[in-house]
Amino acid sequence: MKYGHFDDSKREYVITNPRTPYPWINYLGCEDFFSIITNTAGGYSFYKDARLRRLTRYRYNNVPVDDGGKYFYINENGKVWSPGWKPVKTELDHYECRHGMGYSIVKGEVDQLEAEVTYMVPIGYKGEVQKIKLTNQSDRKRSFSLFSFVEWCLWDALDDGSNFQRNFSTGQVEIVDSTIYHKTEYRERRDHYAFYTVNEKIDGLDTDRDSFLGLYNGFDAPDAVTERQSRNSHAHGWSPIASHHLQIELEPGEEKQLVFVLGYVEVPVEDKFVENQVINKAPAEQMIAQFQTAADVDRAMDKLAKFWDDLLSVYQLEHPEEELNRAVNIWNQYQCMVTFNFSRSASFFESGIGRGMGFRDSNQDLIGFVHQVPDRARERIIDIASTQFEDGSAYHQYQPLTKKGNDAVGSNFNDDPLWLILAIDEYIKETGDWSILEEMVPFDNDESNTATLFEHMKRSFYHVVNNLGPHKLPLIGRADWNDCLNLNCHSETPGESFQTTENGEGGVAESVFIAGMFVLYGDAFEKLCLKLGKDKEAEVAAGHIADMKKVVDQHGWDGEWFIRAYDHYGEKVGSDEQEEGKIFIESQGMCIMAGIGLEDGRARKALDSVKERLDCEYGIVLNNPAFTKYIVKYGEISSYPEGYKENAGIFCHNNPWIMISETLAGNGDAAWDYFRKICPPYLEEISDLHKTEPYVYSQMIAGKDAQKPGEAKNSWLTGTAAWNFYAISQYILGIRPDFDGLKINPVIPGKWEGYKVTRKFRGATYKIEVTNPAFVSSGVKELFLNGAKLEGTVIPICEAGSENMVKVVMG
């Protein structure tokens, strides 16, 4: 069952039934100011950091689901409704929510009165702009009240949701005409405030929540709205809000547009006040002046569309299947921008107060984003590397506002450092900007202790070399990519953190996954050294990599697949010897991507085992058989019921590793089959089962051992976005940036006839046409650049600004 449809020409998903199986959200904002918005106008806003600088309040896991947001209420002769259906939930004659690139349009109609609200964050603006268009479609005069509503958060979202003894006495606002200023804590150490305004004279307002709602009412029935009478309340403590009241009359056919702005302002400390208790409003007034008319908003919408035209134009596909086009050209790339911006901080499953930017996550997110805005990717690489320790190890996460590492979920996840090499390698291949390696970058954010980025990368490499275990495999530390395989943590205490408790004495557990990763990204390090003329460095690295390959051959192969790890007691994890968890996906993907076993048949065997044991209707599960008992020595993994999350869930992040492995083994049909299974637009028809948005990937789909296979959770913020884009664009469609050009190597289903890709690369445009006259899965028979036949499979870098025709004939 579907709840809407794609409108590809507008790059929108159009929801036509407000009762989606879960709130279906969108993100507004591309730079510093962000909002999360649901299809019924729920959600919240923040500046840079969803925990430390939250502007509006939101209650997660609320009852009913998704209560609280940027609401509008209409009261016409006692009939009260909201354009987005919620919170009032009056049945609408017509409802529609259009989630687009950086904006959402929510529209409702009752008795031929139509209200359409456009929510957006303009480029370069620290605020959310809302344009509401009210249209009288009937032939009689209408007279009604419009109320706006937002609830302020007292900035630190964690404190806001827990420290009521203080917070109920600190709230402060100021009111000038139609503008409500939220200034809690501004009198002391904060130098920022927020405001909510409308471009018209108002007929009333409220800033105190209980006065507006009535203490015992929900958002669905505020007293002020029901009675068409604002209280003109001035909040002192308790819960400050902002609500405007406008009385509106519309002649038959008449339309009226209003502009609301929710803004964020920072003021230099010396200019904070104009007089005692009176805040300096000049910066807010400047912001407000920019959005005085509906036309101002329309211009900002055009600019936003242009911004996305440019970003998405870097990689555009023309393929016979529209589902694939919309995934590649629109939604997957859009999601990559979102994961780049938010890492794992704020979604409808990440509360914004837990994890900030993940070290490993952000490095991986970058590979799906670097082609869009390479400058920001560059800055991000430096930010991440700045949190690294001198010995090459890393904090597991850092806070977006301060950019400082924190060990709230521990550190010493021993795969972390290697992901930095992946990010740097992909950045240089995309941009050719070798200068990044000479940047001086601090350790642990200590500006007095810096080294070149090259040195950081080298420390990442040697962190593995310096931390080998009894089999000479890499020590796993707290965990590797799988946060829940905590082999040095033996927890029998309820509530103890699996990520910070490390009580396996000596911590000798080892990871075959990191071994594969070391071969893969170690090789990237070696190649970078060679390119830089550091031959000696490269030679030494090559020696370590060769040694690691031997160790994997000796201790990493189980007979039909790659072993996953060795536990604290030296026993194999992910081996046929075990009763449950005989095979894990991660080491298959990583070892084969590293090329291990491709020549001697082991890769094929391992991939066949994946197909046989891990694959199911909805994707590839993480391990099999699922754990049915809690295994103390494995940490968190078997704490999950079978079929969910890291215990045999379809953890979509690592499915593309198998897709890529299949392409390396030349099997385009299998790669495509895996891709299609989890690719959101192909799942639209099963939206009621899948539950999460049909336009973005989710972290996890319940696996074959779960109670409800196919049901997804954790949409949006997942490495799945970057990895699937990487797999489809670079390995299946086969267009890979390389140091000296674009490498072309499609590995596709044998029945495909061909496709076209427009790729912008290093300033030039390449119009690539792939044809498959012999219906093969892989192999480039002929390659032409502007009519001239090329040797090999790399298109050289063409002059910036040029447009080039590339013909690829497979065979």
Q: How many CB atoms lie within 10 A of CB 293?
A: 12
Token representation of residue 554: 């000796």
Q: How many chain residues are in contact with ligand GLC, going by CB under 6 A? A: 15
Report, in Å, the least distance between residue 409 CB and ligand GLC: 5
Q: How far apart are CA 128 and CA 103, in angstroms?
A: 10
DSSP secondary structure of 404-448: -EEEEEEE-BTTHHHHHHHHHHHHHHHH--GGGGG-EEEETTEEE
Q: Rule CB under 6 A: say whether 646 interacts with ligand GLC.
A: yes
By beta-carbon proximity to ligand GLC, the closer residue of 239 and 345 is 345
Q: What is the x/- site pattern for ligand GLC, positions 689-708, by CB under 6 A?
A: ----------x---------
Which residues, listed in sequence order, are joined to residue 81 by a DSSP beta bridge?
A: 74
- Which residues in the 561-600 window bind ligand GLC by CB under 6 A? none
Contact region with ligand GLC (CB under 6 A), list: 308-316, 479-487, 610-618, 664-672: 479-487
Cβ 119 vs Cβ 103: under 8 Å: yes
Residue 521, SS3 per DSSP: helix
Report, in Å, the least distance between residue 661 CB and ligand GLC: 18
Closest residue to bound ligand GLC by CB: 483
Among 39, 467, 482, 609, binds ligand GLC (CB under 6 A): 482
Q: Rule CB under 6 A: say whether 128 interacts with ligand GLC.
A: no
Contact region with ligand GLC (CB under 6 A), list: 218-226, 475-483, 545-553, 800-808: 475-483
- Which residues in the 200-229 window bind ligand GLC by CB under 6 A? none
By beta-carbon proximity to ligand GLC, the closer residue of 196 and 513 is 513
DSSP H/E element including 616: strand 615-616
By beta-carbon proximity to ligand GLC, the closer residue of 258 and 585 is 585
In terms of Cα–Cα distance, which of 690, 760, 678, 692 is closest to 725?
Answer: 678
Q: How far apart are CA 685 and CA 323, in angstroms?
A: 12
Report, in Å, the least distance between residue 706 CB and ligand GLC: 15
By beta-carbon proximity to ligand GLC, the closer residue of 718 and 804 is 718
By beta-carbon proximity to ligand GLC, the closer residue of 20 and 499 is 499
Question: Which of 483, 567, 615, 705 is an active site residue?
Answer: 483
By beta-carbon proximity to ligand GLC, the closer residue of 61 and 165 is 61
Query: Which residue type does 202 have?
Result: I
Report, in Å, the least distance between residue 724 CB and ligand GLC: 14
Which value, in Å, is the radius of gyration of the alpha carbons in the chain?
28
Q: Rule CB under 6 A: say whether 499 interacts with ligand GLC.
A: yes
Q: How far apart are CA 292 and CA 168, in angstroms?
A: 34
Q: What is the dihedral of CA 705, 706, 710, 715, to 10 degrees?
A: -120
Report, in Å, the least distance between residue 414 CB and ligand GLC: 13
Q: How far apart are CA 694 and CA 674, in angstroms?
A: 17
Q: What is the x/- site pattern for ligand GLC, positions 522-561, by CB under 6 A?
A: ----------------------------------------
By beta-carbon proximity to ligand GLC, the closer residue of 333 and 654 is 654
Q: How many CB atoms lie within 10 A of CB 76?
A: 17
Among 126, 344, 572, 743, binds ligand GLC (CB under 6 A): 344
In terms of Cα–Cα distance, which of 389, 416, 411, 600 is closest to 513?
Answer: 416
Cβ 340 vs Cβ 368: under 8 Å: yes
Q: Rule CB under 6 A: say whether 483 interacts with ligand GLC.
A: yes
By beta-carbon proximity to ligand GLC, the closer residue of 170 and 500 is 500
Among 481, 513, 697, 731, binds ligand GLC (CB under 6 A): 481
- Which residues in the 60-119 window bind ligand GLC by CB under 6 A? none
Contact region with ligand GLC (CB under 6 A), list: 189-197, 354-362, 443-451, 624-632: 354-362
Report, in Å, the least distance between residue 362 CB and ligand GLC: 10
Position of tokens 């028809």? 685
Report, in Å, the least distance between residue 360 CB and ligand GLC: 5
Q: How far apart are CA 358 and CA 338, in angstroms?
A: 14
By beta-carbon proximity to ligand GLC, the closer residue of 482 and 638 is 482
DSSP secondary structure of 477-507: BT-SSSTT--TT----STT--TTT---STT-
- Which residues in the 386-415 window bind ligand GLC by CB under 6 A? 409
Active site residue 208: no
Q: How many CB atoms lie within 10 A of CB 569?
A: 10
680 burial via Cβ count (<10 Å: 0-12, 13-18, 19+): buried
By beta-carbon proximity to ligand GLC, the closer residue of 362 and 372 is 362
Contact region with ligand GLC (CB under 6 A), list: 62-70, 119-127, 358-366, 387-395: 358-366
By beta-carbon proximity to ligand GLC, the closer residue of 151 and 361 is 361
Report, in Å, the least distance between residue 491 CB and ligand GLC: 12
How wide is the angle at C-alpha 689 spanned by C-alphas 607 and 365, nearest 5°?
55
Q: How many CB atoms lie within 10 A of CB 530?
A: 15
Report, in Å, the least distance between residue 718 CB and ligand GLC: 6
Among 484, 538, 596, 721, binds ligand GLC (CB under 6 A): 484
Token representation of residue 741: 């050009």
Among 70, 360, 572, 602, binds ligand GLC (CB under 6 A): 360
Cβ 251 vs Cβ 289: under 8 Å: no
Report, in Å, the least distance between residue 269 CB and ligand GLC: 36
Which residues, listed in sequence order, are joined to residue 413 by a DSSP beta bridge?
A: 477
By beta-carbon proximity to ligand GLC, the closer residue of 284 and 346 is 346
Contact region with ligand GLC (CB under 6 A), list: 283-291, 316-324, 476-484, 551-559: 476-484
Q: Rule CB under 6 A: say whether 351 interacts with ligand GLC.
A: no
Query: Which residue type does 484 have?
Result: C
Among 96, 151, 350, 361, binds ligand GLC (CB under 6 A): 361
Q: Rule CB under 6 A: say whether 645 interacts with ligand GLC.
A: yes
Cβ 451 vs Cβ 443: under 8 Å: yes
Q: What is the x/- site pattern for ligand GLC, positions 422-461, by CB under 6 A?
A: ----------------------------------------
Q: How far apart are CA 705 and CA 234, in angstroms?
A: 55
By beta-carbon proximity to ligand GLC, the closer residue of 171 and 356 is 356
Residue 74, SS3 per DSSP: strand
Q: How far apart are CA 739 and CA 431, in angstroms?
A: 9
Using DSSP bridges, classify how beta strands 754-761 and 803-810 pair: parallel, antiparallel or unpaired: unpaired
Report, in Å, the least distance between residue 583 CB and ligand GLC: 17
DSSP H/E element including 45: strand 43-47
Question: Can you state the angle between helices 655-664 and 585-593, rounded to 10 degrees?
Answer: 40
3-state helix, strand, coil in the chain (%, to 5): 30, 30, 40
Q: How far apart are CA 321 and CA 590, in angstroms?
A: 30
Contact region with ligand GLC (CB under 6 A), list: 126-134, 345-353, 480-488, 783-791: 480-488
Backbone angles phi, psi at 529, to 5 degrees: -60, -45
Contact region with ligand GLC (CB under 6 A), list: 209-217, 353-361, 398-406, 599-607: 353-361
Using DSSP bridges, classify how beta strands 650-651 and 803-810 pair: parallel, antiparallel or unpaired: unpaired
In terms of Cα–Cα distance, which of 116, 429, 147, 386 is closest to 257?
Answer: 116
Among 114, 128, 223, 636, binds ligand GLC (CB under 6 A): 636
Cβ 804 vs Cβ 798: under 8 Å: yes
Contact region with ligand GLC (CB under 6 A), list: 55-63, 137-145, 191-199, 478-486: 478-486
Binding site for ligand GLC (CB under 6 A): 344, 358, 360-361, 409, 481-484, 499, 636, 645-646, 699, 718
* Catalytically annotated residues: 483
